[in-house]
Amino acid sequence: MTTTSTNPAVQAIIGEAAPHQARLAAASGLLPLPQSDLLEVLVALRQSEDAEIATAARATLDSQDAEDLLAAAKSDETPVAVLDYLATLSQNSRQIHEAVVLNNNTSDQAIAGLAASASDGSLLEMIALNQQRLVRFPKIIDAILANSDRSPEAERRARETKQEFFEKERGAQQIAQELRTRGQTAAAEFFESADLTEGLSVEDAWLLAEHIEVSDADLDNSWLPSERFEDLKAETPEEHAANFKRVIEYERLEVGEVPAERVTLIRRLMFMNAKDRVKMAMKGDREARGILIRDSNRVVATAVIHNPRLTDQEVENIAAMRTVADEVLRLISLNRNWARSYSIIHNLVRNPRTPLPTVISTLPRIRTKDLKQLSQNRNVSEAARRQALRLSEARSGK
């Protein structure tokens, strides 16, 4: 289980590192935790496999003051898991449900559940007012229309949204037009070119569009000669699945547990065709770039290097990665701006994935003390160690 709290005690309790008695005490509300941390702990522990802890957490949640729950429902800092829990409350919860609906951090899935179970027609109207959420997650529309307690106004708004965005032939263009009016040009361009009839759902398209920040006008495609399009041939479902698994494994090796939201994004990206992944690599935000740099297709990974929003800090991190294509590392070394950064070239020569010619040509720019350390680094090739030693001794007059 993951947690958003920075409190070590909360992380230990939710991560199951704390002893049983401490977790039971937390579930019983006996630990001196801030209200926000307490709710996060209780919501997590109510699903514990330990029946005693789960029962205690549910009982403590049931005893929480309604004003405290309302404050949590209104706060932008409340964890998504807590907001989603509050959406499931059934007794004396009208104000809480209203706050949950208005909170942008509440998950779409939770809103869909509330739309399906709510008996208050005015609450359904409030849900139906958020057209952007309805378009992003059309299951909410279906839930409103299937709810027998819906008001005529809630039904009207849900049907109008469904007709405008999902029953017209040019639904993607309609969404693109709305995005353009909000100044989200790059995302609008994605919808204008998206084919929502070929396996890409509207939900997928919305999720991907939220991670696009570079417009077509800012792209330079000159790096991609026509002969490289052979590397973008059609891939089988098995190849897509293998690529997805590869990226997940690499992320776990480098950062530990991968949050569910990021797994979802990785899956959406890795099951796009190679040409669309190249576009996404060149147009995507930092999160998308961090995923696609690990793509097994070298052209896709290389495209990330040509994203105009790529920062020096990202390049420094990429130069240290042992899960990227050697071609990516070679291209980094050839970029004059990045080659001026000592941190970047230092990471390159220490990375066993960096091509040996690149390492050898870069070593003269490495500081003497770092050359000495590199000459003893068993993670790099013997040839690189020998050359580092020669340069180090030459500078010392040996």
318 is written with which tokens? 């990429």
Show me where the domains of the chain are located: 311-398
The predicted pLDDT at position 368 comes to 92
The structure tokens 């898991």 sit at 81
**Shortest CA distance to 205 belongs to which of 222, 217, 223, 193?**
193
- Answer whether 205's CB lies under 8 Å from 196's CB: yes
DSSP code for 207: H
Asked if 75 and 114 touch (Cβ cutoff 8 Å), the reply is no
What is this structure's pTM?
Answer: 0.59
DSSP-derived letter for residue 256 is S
- How far apart, in whole angstroms, are the C-alpha atoms of residue 386 and residue 187? 50
Supply the pLDDT for residue 221. 80
Is residue 131 within 8 Å of residue 162, measured between CB atoms? no
- Residue pair 154/144 in contact (Cβ under 8 Å)? The answer is yes
Low-confidence ranges of the chain (pLDDT < 50): 169
| CB-CB contact of 13 with 23 (8 Å) | yes
The pLDDT value recorded for residue 169 is 43
Residue located via tokens 């052979």: 230
CA–CA gap between residue 36 and residue 110 (Å, rounded): 19
Give me the DSSP letters along 56-88. HHHHHHHTS-HHHHHHHHH-TTS-HHHHHHHTT
CA distance linking residue 172 with residue 369, whole number of Å = 58
CA of residue 115 relative to chain centroid, distance? 26
| DSSP one-letter code for 259 | P
Confirm if 365 and 355 have CB atoms less than 8 A apart.
no
Name every residue whose Cβ is closer than 8 Å to that of residue 264 and which is 6 or more positions away in sequence.
207
Q: What are phi and psi of 212, to 5 degrees?
A: -110, 130
Number of other residues whose CB lies within 10 A of the CB of residue 106: 22
pLDDT tens track for 119-161: 999 999 999 999 889 988 999 999 999 999 999 999 999 988 8
